[in-house]
Amino acid sequence: MDKDQRQTIYEIFDQESPIATEMRRLYSNIRHVDGRSPKRSFLITSADRGEGKSTVASYLALTVARFRGRKSLVVDADLRKPKLHEIFDVPKEPGLFECLNGEIDPLEAIKDTPIENLKIIPAGRRVKSPAHLFEGDIMTEIFEKIKFYYDIVIVDSAPIIPVSDPMLISSVIDGVVLVLLAGRTPRNVSIRARNILLDANANLLGVVVNNMSEVLPYYYDYRYYGYTEDDER
Ligand SMILES: Nc1ncnc2c1ncn2[C@@H]1O[C@H](COP(=O)(O)OP(=O)(O)OP(=O)(O)O)[C@@H](O)[C@H]1O
Ligand SMILES: [Mg+2]
């Protein structure tokens, strides 16, 4: 189907749909998961490719942005396989790459969407090996700045097992949501992803089991998702 015939996410996303209900539940859970002050920034990752990170990040961002008066920003930090500019139909550049590369201020990379409370920083120019970009102080400065200006920040990222970027980003984000694909992500692989995050001291808030056949993601607190302290690390 060509682009003009495809429905945009703004048309597809229906506040009354089951997925919207699930997303509100997810948001409520991850925001208050540990009973401490509400979380305001979330990194969405998965063990491997194609498990639904960008989908969950996008729907979550749309859900959050509908809460009145809450300034929301979604960031495409998957510089290897950027997708959010397509999903939200905004220009791809300049974006996070240009910020990380010191070319522009993060506030200059922000794009409007048709939803007043929702802004986006797309991935920016294509770069072959972006890993080193996430290692420096500039990454911290970028995220500190956007967290200052926005109430809620949602970050779509690369998968955690093959790529170190999400682990590095997790240090400046309140919490991480791990997306698993129902019936596809093997248990040992999801445990490995969980352990990478925990070893990096990331605050793992929960697991979303993305069920493609049901078109419904389900949220679980990872502590109750069949992981025990005895699992091999
Ligand atoms: N619950 C779902 N129901 C139907 N289709 C889905 C669902 N979740 C994801 N998809 C589709 O599966 C494909 C992969 O999803 P998505 O791009 O969100 O995954 P990803 O983890 O971000 O992938 P990548 O690792 O390539 O960044 C997309 O075409 C998306 O539209
Ligand atoms: Mg993606």
- Report the CATH number that the domain containing residue 30 is assigned in CATH: 3.40.50.300
Range of the domain at 215: 9-222
| Per-residue pLDDT at 47 | 95
**pLDDT reading at 114 higher than 70:** yes
Q: To test ligand 1's pocket by mutation, which of 9, 22, 48, 54 has the most ligand atoms within 8 angstroms of CB? A: 54
Shortest-distance atom of ligand 1 to CA 48: 25
Asked if residue 113 lies in contact with residue 120, where contact means CB atoms within 8 angstroms, the answer is yes
Token digits for 31?
Answer: 């925001």
CA 146 to CA 143: how far, in whole Å? 5
Shortest-distance atom of ligand 1 to CA 19: 1
| Per-residue pLDDT at 215 | 57
Shortest-distance atom of ligand 1 to CA 213: 3
pLDDT bucket at 210, cuts 50 / 70 / 90 = confident
Question: For 172-190, what is the mean pLDDT?
Answer: 91
Burial class (CB in 10 A: 0-12, 13-18, 19+), 51: buried
Residue 75 lies in a domain: yes
Question: For 163-172, what is the mean pLDDT?
Answer: 95
- Looking at the chain, the whole-number percentage of residues with pLDDT higher than 90 is 66
Task: Tell how far the Cα of 230 is from the centroid of ligand 2, in angstroms.
Answer: 31
Into how many domains does the chain fold?
1
Question: For 55-77, what is the mean pLDDT?
Answer: 93
Residue 181 lies in a domain: yes
Task: Tell how far the Cα of 105 is from the centroid of ligand 1, in angstroms.
Answer: 30
| Per-residue pLDDT at 232 | 46
Q: What is the mean pLDDT of the chain?
A: 88
Residue 232 lies in a domain: no
Window from 60-64, 118-122, 224-228 with minimum mean pLDDT: 224-228
CA 105 to CA 150: how far, in whole Å? 15
- Starting at the earlier edge strand, list the strands of the sheet with 204-211: 111-112, 118-121, 72-76, 152-156, 41-46, 175-181, 204-211, 216-220
CA 111 to CA 121: how far, in whole Å? 6
Token digits for 93?
Answer: 């550049």
Residue 233 lies in a domain: no
Question: For 78-103, what is the mean pLDDT?
Answer: 97
Residue 172 lies in a domain: yes
Residue 2 lies in a domain: no
Residue 90 lies in a domain: yes
pTM as predicted: 0.92
pLDDT bucket at 226, cuts 50 / 70 / 90 = very low
| Per-residue pLDDT at 222 | 53
